[in-house]
Amino acid sequence: MRKNLIERVLPIIASLAWAFLFGIMLILFTEGIPVVKSISPLRFLFGLHWYPVHEPPEFGILPLLLGSFMVTLGAIIVALPLGLGCAIYLSEIARPCIRDITKPFIEMLAGIPSVVYGFFGLVFLAPLIQRIGHLPTGLTGGTASIILGIMALPTVTSIAEDAISSVPRNLREASFALGATRWETITKTVLPAAKSGIFTSAILGVGRAIGETMTVLMVAGGSAVIPSHFFRPVRPMTATIAAEMGEAPMGSLHYHALFAIGLVLFLLTLGLSLAAEWVKEK
């Protein structure tokens, strides 16, 4: 009787994930699509100005899209070399006692609240970048990229380390038997064999960075303009939704435009997740 009960309950629990996903999609489409009645999709996606309170208002999200892409690109530039280096060290070089101590500390970075990272960037990193770069402000896309790279580091390190550790030992032994050095074995045998897992870690790290809200809201600068370089204030899509949703009247064009931004963001992250699964299967 207990076995039959468990077998009936577990599929219901598993199906809740699908229910939540379809519920989120339904809300985003229901509340986001009405903006198309007033603004053409091309004008919404490629408009150069986001002025929701002007008369008439302008709802072009290209500066927000480019801001999100810029901080995400910067984050993966920071996270991928550091994460891959940590993964190689933990799986191939570090002693077991050091690995058992170091890996939990790296994974603990994932448990730190994003607002704490935001405070760190606001109080320490932004003034440092402002002084070094002689900038008007340290709240820039580059600052957000560095913080997001640190936040994505546990994801990249953990998945890449698992992929490298899963490479069969006989490949390493065959490489050593042919006279390869330890570094040649790592770079020419182990990493190519683990490349699908490494690519997956990079894609999931991008997904972790592009969906972050609180950190970019605090340290990216909040300027809805097309970024000309990394160290200029930007406003990513997530920061726009968080900053303006509380002020947008329910049912207004501004309200539906924010849901449409959420829909675009959802489709981007969904595409990244599907790409990660495809790479993992390959």
217-231 pLDDT per residue, tens: 889 888 888 888 888
Which amino acid would we find at residue 94?
A: A
pLDDT at res. 282: 66
Q: How far apart are CA 146 and CA 74, in angstroms?
A: 7
Instruction: For residue 156, count CB atoms less than 10 angstroms from its CB and return exposed for 0-12, middle for 13-18, buried for 19 or more.
Output: buried
Token digits of residue 31: 């509340």
* pLDDT at position 4 over 80: no
Q: How does residue 146 score in pLDDT terms, banded at 50, 70 and 90? A: very high
Q: What is the mean pLDDT of the chain?
A: 86
Token digits of residue 192: 């190519």
Question: What CATH code is assigned to 2-281?
Answer: 1.10.3720.10
Q: How far apart are CA 211 and CA 230, in angstroms?
A: 19
pLDDT at res. 1: 64
Whole-number CA gyration radius for the chain? 22
Q: How many CA atoms lie within 13 A of 170 on its CB side?
A: 0
Question: Which residue's entry shows tokens 């109080």?
Answer: 123
Q: Where are the domains of the chain?
A: 2-281
- Of 65-74, 105-114, 121-130, 157-166, the least confident: 105-114
pLDDT at res. 128: 92
Work out the average pLDDT over 16-44.
85
Q: How far apart are CA 215 and CA 235, in angstroms?
A: 11
Token digits of residue 166: 């899963």
Token digits of residue 255: 């309200």
Which amino acid would we find at residue 269?
A: T
Token digits of residue 119: 């405070």
Q: With pLDDT > 70 as the criterion, what percentage of the chain qualifies?
A: 99
* pLDDT at position 136 over 80: yes
Backbone angles phi, psi at 58, to 5 degrees: -125, 130
